[in-house]
Amino acid sequence: MNWTLALPEIVLAVLGMAILMFGVLQKRHNPFHLASMLTVGAFLVAGMLVIAGPEGLGYHGQFTSDPFSRFVQVLVLVASSLTVIASLDYNDHANLRRFEFPVLILFATVGMLVMAGASNLMTLYVGLELQSLSIYVLAAFARDELRSTEAGLKYFVLGSLASGLLLYGISLVYGFSGTMEFDKLAMTLADPTKVSAGLIVGIVFIVAGLAFKVSAVPFHMWTPDVYEGAPTPVTLLMGTAPKVAAMALLVRAMATPFGHLLGQWQQLIVLVSIASMLLGALAAIGQKNIKRLMAYSSIGHMGYVLIGLAAGTPNGIRGVLIYLVTYVFMNAGTFACIIAMRRRGRSLERISDLGGLGKTDPMLAMWLTVFMFSMAGIPPFAGFWGKYFIFTAAVQSGMWALAVIGVLTSVIGAFYYIRIIKVMYFDTAEAAFDPRSASLSTLAAVSGLFTTLFFVFPAPLVGAAEAAAKVLFG
């Protein structure tokens, strides 16, 4: 058995426990900052191990390491690192300086790495639970604040319901096919006579459970409330890494074991995708709270990503991966700007609070403008290229209608993204925000530079995404 396949996960988990012990035993100084730094360091180590690690299928078919999983794992590690860096400043001001915060993020990341490499329905479930449970706790981390505990509880109750659905689906699939390994499932289902109605119901349940985790319509209800209530770095985390991991899981589960049933699940994904895009575009218009707005925006973005999956081709999957990369960076950057919205130590969340930012803090306003343009899909920013790859793939698979709806909803969505820019530059100026910390500025700058300059050298990323996508259709 080649146990080194899961070396990044093992090392990361062990380092997490070490950081936990360090935090518990360190009594004199508050270990939050040091623990956060160590966590970022652990992510770096894990990232290097992911890149250098061997490929193959191990642990009795429960875990796999291939270009796809490695692509997703690196992306997840980057997103988690960005979250930890963003939390440094926020937690200092929100009085959440507790070393458990980065540790929980770390364990959530372990869960997401496991999800990315899952090649068995049980691994899929366990990884998903590890990730979800950590994030339930993180959502309620500001335990003295009503909104945060409510967010945590809501997320927990609905999330467990989704886990239940997923588990039910898994048991149905197991009962009707006799195996939980992706490879064997694919082999079994290659013969259409072995596909029964029960199995299809099982797949529907699995899709429903995973759709909840990526907050696609009609399983999106929790998103706005939880996004609004959770501490902002946690919202940043929920908006990036778990979405990536869950989407990767959905892609792998649909493409590998159920790849032969494309006709069965394609219509399902198309439906979910259209509904998500529409809701994301329409419901966001009336929002006044920027975190809620980002919630609806993420629902919309997941709709676009699902187009790539619905296309069911390597090109579509490549589009999914590229979209997810660009999405992670623009989301992280936007939330860095949101965390920076603070006057006299109080965090602000209303869009109107941004009034006149173009005059009071031109730097922040510029980066936020970049992110908003990118989210709206305006060239040459990264968000445009994500959409470009997705829509081309859809068109190549002959899904004209889906591509057209996607473009239309992007145009509607552009309205509320650009409204934010309007508020910043043309509304009456309010008092200036508190000075930003270096960590937030760096975060915004890194994400902003990536978003702006993506079009200059997209080749390595596109190449990696292409290699990753090919694996699933090998």
Residues that bind other proteins (CB under 8 A): 6, 13, 17, 20, 59-60, 62-63, 98, 100, 103-104, 107, 110-111, 114, 122-123, 126-127, 129-130, 133-134, 136-137, 140-141, 143, 152, 175-179, 188, 194, 196-198, 201
Nearer to other proteins, 36 or 134 (CB): 134
Least Å from the CB of residue 45 to other proteins: 18
Least Å from the CB of residue 378 to other proteins: 40
Least Å from the CB of residue 416 to other proteins: 34
Nearer to other proteins, 126 or 395 (CB): 126
Nearer to other proteins, 63 or 327 (CB): 63
Nearer to other proteins, 66 or 100 (CB): 100
Nearer to other proteins, 60 or 344 (CB): 60
Mutual angle of helices 67-93 and 314-340, in 10-degree steps: 10
Least Å from the CB of residue 459 to other proteins: 36
Nearer to other proteins, 20 or 253 (CB): 20
Nearer to other proteins, 129 or 228 (CB): 129
Nearer to other proteins, 111 or 308 (CB): 111
Instruction: Write a three-state SS string for the chain.
Output: CCHHHHHHHHHHHHHHHHHHHHHHHCCCCCCHHHHHHHHHHHHHHHHHHHHHCCCEEECCCCEEECHHHHHHHHHHHHHHHHHHHHHHHHHHHCCCCCCHHHHHHHHHHHHHHHHHCECEHHHHHHHHHHHHHHHHHHHCCCCCCHHHHHHHHHHHHHHHHHHHHHHHHHHHHHHHHCCCEHHHHHHHHCCHHHCCHHHHHHHHHHHHHHHHHCCCCCCCCHHHHHHHHCCHHHHHHHHCHHHHHHHHHHHHHHHCCCHHHHHHHHHHHHHHHHHHHHHHHHHCCCCCEHHHHHHHHHHHHHHHHHHHHHHCCHHHHHHHHHHHHHHHHHHHHHHHHHHHCEECCEECCEHHHHCCHHHHCHHHHHHHHHHHHHHHCCCCCHHHHHHHHHHHHHHHCCCHHHHHHHHHHHHHHHHHHHHHHHHHHHCCCCCCCCCCCHHHHHHHHHHHHHHHHCCCCCHHHHHHHHHHHHHHCC
CA dihedral 397→403→405→409, nearest 10 degrees, is: 150
Least Å from the CB of residue 12 to other proteins: 10
Nearer to other proteins, 135 or 281 (CB): 135
Least Å from the CB of residue 137 to other proteins: 4
Least Å from the CB of residue 46 to other proteins: 14
Nearer to other proteins, 58 or 413 (CB): 58
Least Å from the CB of residue 114 to other proteins: 6
**77 closest CA partner among 124, 43, 32:** 43
Least Å from the CB of residue 226 to other proteins: 16
Least Å from the CB of residue 255 to other proteins: 20
